[in-house]
Chains A and B, each alone.
Chain A
Amino acid sequence: MKVILSGTLLRFVGYEREIEVEARTVGEAINAVEARHDALRNVLRDGSGAVRTTHQLFVNGEQVGRNGLERPVGRADVLEVLTAIAGG
């Protein structure tokens, strides 16, 4: 499946906007990206390991909640990790 990152997260994944990973769930997809770019983990997740509320997850354009990490995904699915807003 494809994981698309943008916004403030790009510099933590070497500006790789689209990343192909093997995953059965949303959580596995994120784990796979973090395995390639370990700097991502601390900015994407809070101390408990949950995705921070400042980032939103979408599968095929449909938003999944922060508790949606168990949601199954298939090879053709696209997971987007978006930053809604940043402070400046």
Chain B
Amino acid sequence: MVRVTTFDVPLDTAMFSPQQLHPWTLAGFGMRGWAHWLREHLVSFPALVRDHGTGVVIVGIELEYLGPLTFFDADALQVAYTVRVREAGDLLRLCAEVDARGRAVACVRLVGRIVRIPEGGTLAARPGVLPGSLLDRFDPDERFDGSVPRVLGSNIRDVSWSPAASSALRVHRGHCEAADQWLFAELPRIVADARETWGLTAGDDPRARVALGTPLRRFVAELTRPMFIFDTATLSTQTDHTGCRYLHQIRGATHTHATAYEELGEPSGAP
């Protein structure tokens, strides 16, 4: 049986724009849910790192808005969280389903890579597997085998992209987590800022109004190489002919750190 951890999140205005639940708030449920699930079913998050020398680095993100939601539509959100582990113990699939008043409004799906942390001073790590004592506590239904499909696929291959903007990016402390490594949940904010900056400077291009005034429907990203505090990179943004889709690439001097796809529009489940 797949175990589900549920928790309520009372709404506050900082979680929203006038259009929707902020994507970074939604992405944050991916991390918050992981902490809830861990504490309920394995060990607390601090104990996972401190006592088991184990952490998780998120390498794939999918955010999807399923139904309309504004600040006044509910008093609280209900998050249902599940975790699946690859048989080898090296990969996790994390899923947060978000409801408001019994109605599905959004979901977060993450792919997490297990890392082992040999010392706690820096939390520097290397790829690894879950300790057997923890892996054994997953239910058979919570295990999967084989490869995990890439989160970026046909949604970016079948689009004719045109360059929109390029800007310098520096990772600041506010983008980082406890290891001074960038936090995946900040990525939707970073690329949304780039899109909006393009929209504000795109003159009478009709796509600019779409870029500035349309809610996010879907966000997908692959994080291929971590960035750390004060690292720099170039953020390149491309868009399609409608201005509803954006492809962002964050590249350092020698490597691509992340590729992110934004799709704007009303929620996929909206009438």
Q: Which residues of A contact B (CB under 8 A)?
A: 6-12, 15, 17, 42-43, 46, 52-55, 61, 83-88
- Which residues of B156-184 are within 8 A (CB) of A? 177-181, 183
Query: What is the CB-to-nearest-CB distance from B161 to chain A, in angstroms, rounded to a whole number?
Result: 29
Query: What is the CB-to-nearest-CB distance from A12 to chain B, in angstroms, rounded to a whole number?
Result: 7
Cβ-based interface call for B105 (8 A): no
In the complex, the 5 A-B pairs of residues with the closest C-beta atoms, listed nearest first:
A87-B55, A7-B228, A86-B179, A54-B124, A8-B122
Q: Bound state CA distance, A43 and B122, in angstroms? A: 6
Provided the pairs A8-B179, A11-B180, A52-B124 are in contact, do residues A87 and B56 lie with their beta carbons within 8 angstroms? yes
- Cβ-defined contact, B117 with A87, below 8 A: yes
- Cβ-defined contact, A86 with B121, below 8 A: no
Query: What is the CB-to-nearest-CB distance from B76 to chain A, in angstroms, rounded to a whole number?
Result: 27
Provided the pairs A7-B180, A15-B230 are in contact, do residues A85 and B118 lie with their beta carbons within 8 angstroms? no
- Cβ-defined contact, B127 with A85, below 8 A: yes
Given contacts A85-B127, A87-B56, 15 further A-B contacts (CB under 8 A): A6-B230, A7-B228, A7-B229, A8-B181, A10-B228, A46-B118, A53-B126, A54-B119, A55-B124, A61-B254, A83-B122, A84-B124, A85-B57, A86-B179, A87-B55
Cβ-based interface call for B11 (8 A): no
Cβ-based interface call for B258 (8 A): no
Cβ-based interface call for B49 (8 A): yes
Provided the pairs A10-B229, A10-B230, A15-B230 are in contact, do residues A87 and B123 lie with their beta carbons within 8 angstroms? yes
Render B177-202 as a binary contact track against A, CB cut-off 8 A, 1 for contact. Answer: 11111010000000000000000000
Query: What is the CB-to-nearest-CB distance from B55 to chain A, in angstroms, rounded to a whole number?
Result: 2
Contacts of A9 in B (CB 8 A): 122
Q: List 6 A-B contacts (CB under 8 A).
A: A7-B228, A9-B122, A54-B126, A83-B228, A84-B226, A86-B179
- Cβ-defined contact, A6 with B228, below 8 A: yes
- Cβ-defined contact, B228 with A8, below 8 A: yes
Q: Bound state CA distance, A15 and B230, in angstroms? A: 9
Chain B: interface secondary structure?
A: loop
Q: Bound state CA distance, A84 and B254, in angstroms? A: 13
Contacts of A52 in B (CB 8 A): 118-119, 124
Cβ-based interface call for B38 (8 A): no
Name the residue of chain A whose CB is nearest to the CB of B58: A88
Cβ-based interface call for B125 (8 A): yes
Query: What is the CB-to-nearest-CB distance from A3 to chain B, in angstroms, rounded to a whole number?
Result: 16
Q: Bound state CA distance, A46 and B116, in angstroms? A: 15
- Cβ-defined contact, B122 with A86, below 8 A: yes
Render B113-156 as a binary contact track against A, CB cut-off 8 A, 1 for contact. Answer: 00111110111111100000000000000000000000000000
Contacts of A83 in B (CB 8 A): 122, 124, 228
Query: What is the CB-to-nearest-CB distance from B33 to chain A, in angstroms, rounded to a whole number?
Result: 15
Contacts of B229 in A (CB 8 A): 7, 10
- Cβ-defined contact, A86 with B228, below 8 A: yes
Q: Which of B56, B115, B127 is the most central at the interface, judged by chain A CB atoms within 10 Å of its CB? A: B115
- Cβ-defined contact, B49 with A87, below 8 A: yes
Q: Bound state CA distance, A82 and B115, in angstroms? A: 17
Cβ-based interface call for B231 (8 A): yes
Cβ-based interface call for B54 (8 A): yes
